[in-house]
Amino acid sequence: MTSDLPELLPARMLNEFVYCPRLFYLEWVDRRWADSHDTEQGQFTHRGVNKRSGSLPEPESGDSVKRVTALHIESRELGLVAVLDRVEDGGDGTTVPVDTKKGRPPASGQPWPADAVQLYAQAALLRDAGYSVDRGVLYYAEANERVTIAIGDAEVTAALEIAKQAREVAARDEAPLPLVGSRRCPRCSLLGLCLPDETNALLRRGTESPRRIVPRDPDCRPVYVTAPGATVGLKGGRIRVLHEDSEPIEVRLIDVSQLCVFGNVQVSTQALAELWARGIPVLWFSYNGWLRGWAQGEMSKYEPSWVGWRPGLGHLRFGGDGLTVAR
């Protein structure tokens, strides 16, 4: 398998290698991948810098760098390749790589080591192309915070040394053993493929019992309003359903995954605005349960969820790709 590996090592794989060598091996050598809530949120966070825009001037031109996004850069001499989220003009003749991360920096305000190494590799590629780079920026989207890192020869050398170590690991016949009792494992997208606790328990590498994997069971559920003439409104953080033949019914917004209305049911503007602000879609059905349409606000996170089941329709799933039907 190692003979089939690309000649150029992606800079983002250095991030994975520093985070966990086994994760790096499974993804780059074994080419195994699994989506998770974190990876989907990361893709959403990068939506603004995934599209190529702008171009870098030639290093010797002396022209200032305009805002550039999704810049592909590679070096066969360094054996590295990267797609830079953003490149900015440093204002002093330097070029500044900016890497976007979905989460938050540590409480110390310093970057996570894996993130820093990836940025060092990006700086190495820019330097190799002839640009002057003495710093980089990590933008942590959840905290809306930019962390500036000084990048000198020592940092570039460190990134190249880590790249060399990563290639040595990739040349092995088997993946490195999992981390033991690490807090990094539960949030890893390859947790179900790596099985760190189970593997370590079988090899008797740790003294603690394997951590239980508990599937997520969200408390929120679809709300169906089927009474003709009912009105759906909003009151104090709750969905309030009014109908002349019954007492008002209230449901907490935090317990609502979708609002499904059937037939002649009115939904107030205030209720729609609040539902969309919380990422809760609203679906309109005919009296007989045929889907007529749906509406949603801008989705802050991609997380598909099952709307429910209706006779003749089957399961309805609402996600970032719209509504799909699984009969």
Q: Which of 175, 190, 213 is the last residue of a domain?
A: 175
Q: How far is it, in rounded angstroms, from Cα 197 to Cα 218?
A: 25
Query: Does residue 22 sit within a domain?
Result: yes
What integer is the mean pLDDT of 88-95? 88
Query: Does residue 196 sit within a domain?
Result: no
User: ∠ CA(197), CA(198), CA(202), 5° rounding?
Assistant: 115
pLDDT at position 216, please? Answer: 61
First to last CA, the chain: 40
Percent of the chain whose pLDDT exceeds 90: 54
Yes or no: say if 78 and 11 are a contact pair by the CB < 8 Å rule: no
pLDDT at position 205, please? Answer: 87
What integer is the mean pLDDT of 178-203? 89
pLDDT tens, position by position, 295-311: 988 755 444 444 444 44
Query: Does residue 51 sit within a domain?
Result: yes
Query: Does residue 270 sit within a domain?
Result: yes
pLDDT tens, position by position, 117-130: 999 999 999 999 99
Q: How far is it, in rounded angstroms, from Cα 292 to Cα 14?
A: 48
pLDDT at position 217, please? Answer: 61
* Conformational region of residue 280, where left means phi above 0, alpha means psi within -120 to 50, and beta covers everything else: beta
Q: In this structure, what are the phi and psi dihedrals at residue 159, rounded to the nearest 5 degrees?
A: -65, -40
pLDDT at position 213, please? Answer: 63
What integer is the mean pLDDT of 109-123? 93
Long-range Cβ pairs for the range 279-284 (8 Å, 24+)? 280/253, 280/256, 281/318, 282/258, 283/258, 283/259, 283/307, 283/316, 283/318, 283/323
User: ∠ CA(321), CA(322), CA(327), 5° rounding?
Assistant: 105
pLDDT at position 151, please? Answer: 96
pLDDT at position 251, please? Answer: 92
What integer is the mean pLDDT of 89-94? 87
The residues, ordered by sequence, that sit 6+ positions from 5 with a Cβ below 8 Å of its Cβ are 28, 29, 170
Q: Which of 110, 141, 175 is the last residue of a domain?
A: 175
Q: Are residues 163 and 229 located together in one domain of the fold? A: no
Query: Does residue 205 sit within a domain?
Result: no
Mean pLDDT of the chain: 86
Yes or no: say if 49 and 141 are a contact pair by the CB < 8 Å rule: no
Q: Are residues 37 and 137 located together in one domain of the fold? A: yes
Q: Are residues 226 and 158 located together in one domain of the fold? A: no
| Helix, strand, coil in percent for the chain, rounding step 5 | 30, 30, 40
Question: Which CATH number fits the domain that encloses residue 107?
Answer: 3.90.320.10
Chain-centre distance for alpha carbon 165: 27
Assign 278 a pLDDT band (cuts: 50, 70, 90).
Answer: confident
pLDDT at position 308, please? Answer: 46
What integer is the mean pLDDT of 240-257? 90
Query: Does residue 67 sit within a domain?
Result: yes
Q: Are residues 164 and 290 located together in one domain of the fold? A: no
Q: Are residues 233 and 85 located together in one domain of the fold? A: no
Domain count, the chain: 2
pLDDT at position 107, please? Answer: 87
pLDDT at position 304, please? Answer: 46
Q: Which of 116, 147, 175 is the last residue of a domain?
A: 175
pLDDT greater at residue 36 or residue 13: 13
Where in the sequence is the domain holding 119, given as residue range(s)?
Answer: 2-175
Query: Does residue 206 sit within a domain?
Result: no
